[in-house]
Chains A and B, each alone.
Chain A
Amino acid sequence: MSKDIRIKKGLDIRLVGEAEKTISEGPRSRTITIRPSDFHLVTPKMVLKEGATLQAGDEIFYSKSQEEIKFLSPVAGTITEIKRGARRVITDIVIEADYNGLQRDFGILPVNATADETKERLLEGGVWPFIKQRPYDVIAKPTVTPKAIFISGLNTGPLAADLDFVLSGKTAELQAAVSALAKLTDGGVHVSIASSASLFSGLSDVTTYTVKGPHPAGNVGTLINKTSPINKGETVWTVAAQDLVIIGELLLTGKFNAQRIISVSGSGIKAPKYYRTMIGAEVSTFAYDAGVEGDNNRFISGNVLTGNKVSPEGALGFYATEFVAIPEGDDYEFFGWNKPVFDKISPSRALTFSWMQPKKKYDLDTNTNGEHRAFVVTGNYEEVFPLDIYPMQILKACMVEDLDEMEALGMYEVAPEDFALTEFICVSKQPHQEIIRKGLDVMYKEIG
C-alpha cells in the first residue's frame, strides 16, 4: 500500500534543454574509463596492470579497506592506461573496448537464494558499489545489516531523466533486484514514487510512498527523513533506481551489464534526448552526436546540482545517469548585482522577476552571480530544505569540525546532495555540498 508524503519546502528549477523522450544509440565508445574518485573514500588496489587484456566483468581493482568490494570492467578489452595524479593517486583507468570480447558469467542466482548467497553474488558480480549507505554517503559496508533500504523512484531535479521512461520494460530486473535487496535487511525496501503509475507500485517486496511537492521531493534523503530518520548507530542503504536494473540483470542473467540509458540535456545540447551508452563511456560519443551549441560549454556528468565537471575528452561517471551541457558563465556583467534580472532564477524578489514566471524555463550558466562571503542572510535555506534539520547550523558545525554538534544536529542523516538546493540559493555563495562532504569525512575518520 502506498503512503503519502507531501513536502512544501523546496524549489523546482526549470531549465531549457529537456531531453526528448527518444532513445538513440550514439557511436560506440572506443574507450571506457573508470575513475576511482567516483567511489568516495575508496582507495583502489589494482588487480590488473597496464596492458592487461580482460573480459567484461573481470575485476580491475578492489577497495583496500574492504577487500570484498570489487570493481569490475564494464567491457572486454585492454587496459591501455592507468593515469595517476598527485601522490600517485590513480585518477583514471582507461580500457580500450573490444565489444566482441568475452563476458564473465556469474551464473543465475536462484530466487530462493539466502541473504548471504545474495550478498556474495552482489559483491562478486561487481554491483555492490551501487549500494550506498548513510551515514557518510559512501559505498555500503557489507558487514553491516541496514535498518532498511531506500530507493527514490522519482526524479525531481532540474533536467531530470524521466525514470518511468528510462525504466520502462525493466520490470523483471527491478523486481529481481528489490526482492534480493529485501533479503539483506529486516526493515524492508522503501521506494518513493510520483504516482501509482510508477513501475514500482506494481512490484512486490517493496513499500511505496507517493511523494508530492517541489524538488527535493525526489531525493532519497527526503524519503528517509520523512519515513525513518537515521539515529546514531543505525545504518540505512540507498540504491539509485537505474542501478537496480544492472543489479537485477546480474541476478537474472549472471552478467554484469554496465549498459545505461542516460538523458543528454541542457541548453548546450542541440537535440537533447536519451542515449543508450555504458558506464565510463567517452562523453564525446553522445554529446557530439546530439550536437553541441557554441564552444564554451560546461560538460557535466550527472545533473546540474550534484554532477561532476568533465572535459570534452572525458568520460561518463560510474553513477551518472544524466549528462548535461550548459554555457560557461565566465564573463563579467555590467552592474550585474543591482540591475533588474529577468533571465535568471531567484528565490527572492529583489529586483528579480523569476517569481512572476514560475513556469518559465531558464538558460542558466555556471556563473556564481556573486562572490564568496561569510554566512549573512538567514532563514532562506529553510525555505528550500524540507528535512527536519537546521541547515545553516549544521553547515557551521561542519566548518568548525565540531563533531558533537554535527552529530546532535543530524549529520548521520544527510548526504551532500541534500544541500544542493541550499547551495543553489546561497547568497554568500558558500560551497554547501563540499562543506557537508568534508564534515562527513571528518566524522567517518574520527567516529567511523
Chain B
Amino acid sequence: MGMKESLHKLKMKYEGKKMAPAFNALHTFLYAPNETTHSGGHIRAVDDLKRTMNTVIIALIPCLIFGIFNAGYQHYYAVAEVAGTAAEYKVTSFFDTNFWNWDNFAIGAWTVLPLVVVSYGVGLLVEFIFAVIKGHEVEEGYLVTGMLVPLIVPIDIPLWMLAVAVVFGVVIGKEVFGGTGMNILNPALTIRAFLFFAYPTWMSGDKVWVHQAVEMAGQPDAISGETILGSYAQNSAVVYDYWDMFLGFIPGSVGETSKVLIVFGAAFLIFTKIASWRIIVSAIVGALVMGLVFNGVVDAGWIDNSSKFYGLMSVPFWQHLLIGSILFGAVYMATDPVTGSQTNKGKWIYGFLIGFISIMIRVFNPAYPEGVFLAILLMNVFAPTIDHYVVQGNVKKRMKRLKLKTA
C-alpha cells in the first residue's frame, strides 16, 4: 500500500475526531486533497491559498539567505573595525568572497535559523491548537507570517522573547478575529510591535543589529552596530555608501537590508500576480513624496543643521528607499491582502499613505528612527475605511442613476 492509500485510510479513520484538523493539515501538505466541486462551476483554477502563500515564501528566500550571510559579515566586519582591519573586510561587489563564505554562513546559521525554527514552531503550534479546539482546518496564513517574522527582527533577539511575541501575535493578532482572512492587523507586524513595546531595549538602539554587539558592549573590544537611520537620526556621519545600501551590506533587521533582493522579490511577486503592484508602487511614491517635502523644508532653510531633524530631513528623497525597511515593508508587508485595502482604488490610497507616513515617522520619531511597521499597522486600521469610501463611490453612482430615472 502506497503512502497515498495509507494517508487516505488514516484520514477516514480520523474523520470527525478531535485531531482531524491537525492530521488533515499534514495530509494536505503532502497531497492536494481529493475534493471535487459540488455546485455551480464544475471546474476550478489551479491556484489555492497554499500555492499563493508558497509563492510569497519563495520570494522571501533570497532575503533570508542574504540575511544569514549578512549576519556573519556584519559581525566580522564590526570586529575587524575594532581591530583596525576593516578595510580588508570591506565587501566591494555583490559576489565578494568576504561575504559569501562559510564563516559568515556559520554565524548566520547559528543565529538566524533558530529564529526561523522558533517562529514556525511556535506559530504553527498555536495554529494547530486553535484548529483542533475550534474544529476548523489549519489555515495557511502563518506560512508567510512565519517566514516574515525572523526577517524583521534584530539578529540577537532572545528566542524566548520571539516565542512569547509569536504567541501574542497569532492569538491576539489573528485567532481572536477568527483566523486567516479575518484579522485586522498584519500578524507579522503585530508580533514585531509586541516585541518593540515589550522589549524595547532589544528592538532599538545602536547595539542590537550586529551579532554580539550587545554582549560586548562596554568591553574594550566593543563593536558598533549602528544602522544608517541611527546615524542620520543623531546627525552623525554615515559610513556606508549608496552601493552598500543598495546591495545590503549594512546592519539592520535580518532580511531587510538587501534592497536589490527585495526589488527582485517584488518583481517576482508582481510577475506572478500574487502581490498588488498598486500597493508597492503607491507606497514607494508616497515615501518619495514625503522625502521631497522634507528636502524642500531643508532647501527652504526652515531648519538648520542644529535641528535634531536635520539629519533625516536632509537625506536625498530617493535615498529613503535605500535605508531602513521601507522597501521591505512596501513589498512584503503592505501587500498583505487581508489587512490591506481590498479595492483597487483603495490600494492606491492605502499604499501611498503607508509610504508617506513611514517617512514622516522616520523623521519625527525621536526614539526609534523607523516608521514602516507603525505606518502599516496604522493603515491596516484605516484600510476598511478607505474601502468603505471607495465602495460608496460605486453605490452613489447607482443611487444617482436611480434618481435620474425617477426624477
Contacts and interface: CB of A to CB of B under 8 A. Distances in A.
Interface of A: 13, 15, 158, 229, 231-234, 298, 300, 304-307, 309, 324, 326, 328-338, 341, 344-352, 354, 364-380, 382, 388-390, 392-393, 408-410, 416, 420, 423-429, 431-434
A424 B45 contact: yes
Contacts of A409: 391, 394-395
A17 B147 CA distance: 43
Contacts of B37: 366-368
Contact of A425 (B47, B140, B278): B47
B163 to A, nearest CB: 26
Interface string B396-407: 011101100110
A298 B137 CA distance: 27
A307 B42 contact: yes
B48 A347 contact: no
Contacts of B141: 376
A373 B44 contact: no
A332 B39 contact: no
A234 B48 CA distance: 39
Contacts of A370: 32-33, 44, 47-51
Given A306-B40, A378-B342, A390-B343, A348 B31 contact: no
A331 B34 contact: yes
A365 B273 CA distance: 24
A389 B48 contact: no
A390 B141 CA distance: 24
Contacts of B29: 337
Contact of B31 (A333, A346, A427): A333
Given A330-B34, A428-B181, A352 B40 contact: no
A134 B398 CA distance: 16
Contact of A373 (B39, B58, B181, B391): B181
Given A304-B41, A375-B181, A376-B49, 11 more contacts: A233-B402, A234-B405, A300-B42, A304-B42, A344-B46, A345-B45, A364-B43, A378-B338, A379-B347, A393-B343, A427-B47
A366 B29 CA distance: 20
Nearest to A370: B48
Nearest to A389: B394
Contacts of A231: 398, 401-402, 405
Given A229-B401, A337-B28, A349 B272 contact: yes
A376 B178 CA distance: 13
Interface string B369-407: 000000000000000000100010011011101100110
Interface centre among B7, B31, B48 (most CB of A within 10 A): B48
Given A350-B272, A374-B182, A388 B397 contact: yes
B49 A348 contact: no
B57 to A, nearest CB: 9
Q: Give 3 closest A-B pairs by Cβ, nearest first.
A: A370-B48, A336-B32, A374-B181
13 contacts: A304-B42, A332-B32, A335-B32, A336-B31, A345-B46, A351-B54, A368-B36, A371-B28, A377-B52, A408-B398, A408-B399, A424-B45, A431-B38
Nearest to A433: B40
A272 to B, nearest CB: 16
Most buried by B among A349, A374, A425: A374
Contacts of A388: 394, 397
A332 B139 CA distance: 19
A233 B398 CA distance: 13
B340 interface: yes
Interface residues of B, number: 64
A424 B52 CA distance: 16
Nearest to B392: A408
Contact of A350 (B7, B274, B276, B394): B274
B55 interface: yes
A427 B34 contact: no
B48 A369 contact: yes
Contacts of A389: 394
A13 B43 contact: yes
A379 B278 CA distance: 10
Contacts of A390: 343, 391, 394
B134 interface: no
B67 interface: no
A333 B51 CA distance: 14
B255 interface: no
A366 B42 contact: yes
A433 B4 CA distance: 32
B35 interface: yes
B160 interface: no
Nearest to A302: B42
A380 B141 CA distance: 18
A334 B44 contact: no
Interface in B65-124: none
B43 A326 contact: yes
Contacts of A371: 28, 33, 35, 48-49, 137
Given A331-B34, A379-B342, A373 B43 contact: no
A332 B8 contact: yes
B344 A351 contact: no
Contact of A424 (B30, B41, B347, B406): B41
B271 interface: yes
B55 A305 contact: no
A298 B42 contact: yes
B337 A377 contact: yes
Contacts of A347: 45, 47, 273
A337 B273 contact: no
B169 interface: no
Contact of B51 (A345, A351, A364, A424): A351
A432 B273 CA distance: 21
A365 B34 CA distance: 11
Contacts of B180: 373-374, 376
B359 to A, nearest CB: 25
Given A388-B394, A429-B48, A332 B43 contact: no
Contacts of A344: 45-46
Contacts of A349: 271-273
B179 interface: yes
A42 B271 CA distance: 48
A340 to B, nearest CB: 10
Given A332-B31, A371-B28, A376-B141, A427 B48 contact: yes
Interface string B217-235: 0000000000000000000
A427 B52 contact: yes
Given A231-B402, A346-B45, A377-B337, A369 B32 contact: yes
Contacts of B338: 376, 378
Nearest to B58: A351
Contacts of A341: 46
B42 A376 contact: no
A306 B41 contact: yes
A350 B52 contact: yes
Contacts of A379: 276, 278, 337, 342, 344, 347
A333 B36 CA distance: 13
B47 A352 contact: yes
